Structure 1
Amino acid sequence: MSASTLTLIVRPRGRPIKNLPETITVRSDASTSEIFQEIAKASQFSIHRLRVTKGSDGSPINNVGEATVHDTGLRNKSAVDVKDLGPQISWRTVFIVEYLGPLLIHPLMYFGRPIIYGTSAPATQLQKLTLLMCVIHFAKREFETLFVHRFSSATMPISNIYKNSGYYWVLSGFNLAYWSYGPSSPAAKPSNPLFTYLGIALFAIGEICNYSTHVTLKNLRRPGSTERGIPQGLAFNLVTCPNYMFEAIAWIGVALVNWSLSTVIFIIVAVGQMGVWAWKKEKRYRKEFGDKYKRKRYAILPGIW
């Protein structure tokens, strides 16, 4: 098939887009990203702020990948609908900000104990251990955000940074830290050493295995591509998202060290949210890979959920 020049009709969808062109011209063998670039150039919007769908059936057109304009089924005089997604912010930036909160809050509240709680009593070994665990966890999260994670979308709505940061800063930041480092905290009292050692072991196993699964997931996607392979390896035969399972294991380890109700509350909320994400991913895998994918009965916790 010889390449041809196509004229596509551009229609606004939702809120008005200033300077949106009525038509654009692209080659049939051009990457679909050319559609976004032509619309962005005319409207002076970032390509990440635009959602483009086929006018015929509403199916989305990607701004990355190897698909050509012809591959999408678009032909001369075909229509595309363009939606303004609003101000955007990069996923990486959101992750950095949301994890930075607890990473700073825990040391500040720990070392600010004399001011916050009005006590001159030294922190106990369990409180020191809780601090160390939380700092390690969120420092690891920041490292993974910078050097491991590959994101399927470049940006998200800027409003998400407030929602995501609020969750981490309040629930795993202020809430967990305040009830862990005070003189009335269960971590301020002696505990059975066996539970402490078990907590340390679970935390270490959870963090190491969680990192391993994140590396596996990273290697499934080529840089600059949204295409994925079927995840295989450590615990992927047990649940859809073993990274979430190991995350839960690590936090159960923290709970066995500090025995704080705030940690238990955080685990319940976190597992609930991760479980929802895991089931959505399970459905996406089934749809994307079909019979090639071995369906999972449990998304996050073997035998439970």
Structure 2
Amino acid sequence: MSTIELIVNPRGKPIRKLPKELTVSTNAPASDIYNTLAQKTGYSVHRLRITKGSDGSVLLNGSETIESSGLRGQSVVYVKDLGPQLGWRFVYVIEYLGPLVIPPLFLYVLRPYLYFNFDKLPEPSSPQQLVCALLFVHFLKREFETIFIHRFSLATMPARNIFKNCAHYWALAGLNIAYWVFRPDSPAATNELNPILYYGGLFLFSFGELANFNAHLVLRNLRRPGTTERGIPKGFGFGLVTCPNYMFEIIAWIGIYLLTGLSWSVLLFLVVGTLQMWDWAKKKERRYRKEFGDKYKRKRFTLLPPIF
């Protein structure tokens, strides 16, 4: 068993107790470097990012051996402190908690206080109550998938990002939609919603939610528990676009948009969310092409044919 000595430098701000040199076995997994440096600095392995000085690429915290990673004797590695971290699962639970509880609060509990300026405050209409129930079902499903279905490729994210992530869901999907859709003068404040909007919206929402759940099950089964390995996804929708889970998410929200009588507040959330998912889908398509090469059937549309 041969050993090599690595030169260790901090990237960015200094890291307390970071060693200047590190002796490792060439046959050891790269994760040994993360574990050793975490032990010496007292930081979690998830808080450290190690890059190779030779090309600046990230040294993955996985089972690849140190020799196969390209590191040699006197190779320089840089260690960056990513700052305090939070688990992805925890972040997702907090993100979806806002839009889960805000709609029923606004429609039933806070209604007299939010719309006090109306001379006569009518009872919530049937479409408003239906939209409230569907929003609750949608985000309850999200919470269930977060806790029991999703397997994350990264364990943590920078703690500061939770404020940005929560702002999107709590403000746009929670406060924005609930306040405007449940107003007594909103398009949904009628018990005689256009049948095309009503039945079309119900169909799109139901189809989108079920198909989205199926896509998440497909993605879950690509990764064994406790690993970050990925496979090529196959199944309903995956032959059409890169990310059918995003496509079905959009379809479900179009259903809610119809059921609200074409509320601009839902449209705003739908447009912002679609643009964000389009960006994620394009990156995933590039990653699939790079990772799987000719084994992967390239997609013309990443999100929503024939637009994205």
Secondary structure (helix, strand or coil) at the match of 1:7 reads: strand
Aligned to 1:106: 103
Letter in 2 for 1:212: N
CA distance in 2, matches of 1:272, 1:80: 37
Aligned ranges 1:164-183 → 2 under 5 Å? 164-183=165-184
Q: How far apart, CA to CA, are the structure 2 residues paired with 1:191 and 1:110?
A: 18
Q: Does 1:262 align with 2:259?
A: no
Give yes or no for contact 2:121–2:184 (8 Å, CA) kept in 1.
no
Distance 1:8 1:263 in 2: 54
User: Which of 3, 17, 20 is residue 18 of structure 2 equivalent to?
Assistant: 20
TM-score by length of 1: 0.96
Aligned 1:118-129 pairs, distance under 5 A:
118=116, 120-129=121-130
Matched, 1:199 2:194: no
- Superposed CA offset, 1:179-198 (max 9, x none): 11110111102211232011
Q: Deviation digits for residues 12-42 of structure 1, max 9, x if unmatched? A: 1111111110112222222211101111111
2:35 is aligned to: 37
- C-alpha distance in structure 1 between counterparts of 2:156 and 2:181, whole Å: 35
Partner SS, residue 283 of structure 1: helix
The residue that corresponds to 1:96 in the other structure is 93
User: Which of the numbers 223, 227, 230 marks the counterpart of 2:229?
Assistant: 227
Structure 2 CA distance, aligned partners of 1:57 and 1:191? 61
**What is the DSSP-based 3-state SS (H/G/I as helix, E as strand, rest coil) of the residue aligned with 2:199?**
helix
- How many residue pairs match? The answer is 302
Structure 1 gaps of 5+ residues are: none
Residues 85-136 of structure 1: per-residue CA shift (max 9 Å, x gap) = 1121111111111100110111110112122113542111100100011000
TM-score by length of 2: 0.95
Q: Which amino acid aligns with 1:243?
A: N
Q: State the alpha-carbon separation in 2 of the partners of residues 299 and 142 from structure 1.
A: 25
Residue from 277, 280, 285 that aligns with 1:282:
285
> What secondary structure, in the 3-state scheme, does the structure 2 residue paired with 1:253 have?
helix
Identity %: 54
Alignment gaps of 5+ in structure 2: none
**1:240 shift after superposition:** 0.7
Give the counterpart of 1:67 among 57, 64, 68: 64
Looking at structure 2, the residues matched to 245 and 160 of structure 1 have their Cα atoms a distance apart, in angstroms, of 25
Whole-angstrom distance in 2 between the partners of 1:90 and 1:100: 16
Cα displacement (A) at 1:5: 2.5
RMSD of Structure 2 on Structure 1 (CA): 1.1
SS of the residue 2:188 aligns to: helix
Instruction: Out of 113-122 and 225-234, give the one that drifted further.
Output: 113-122
**Offset at residue 224 of structure 1 (A):** 2.0
2: CA distance, partners of 1:59 / 1:182: 52
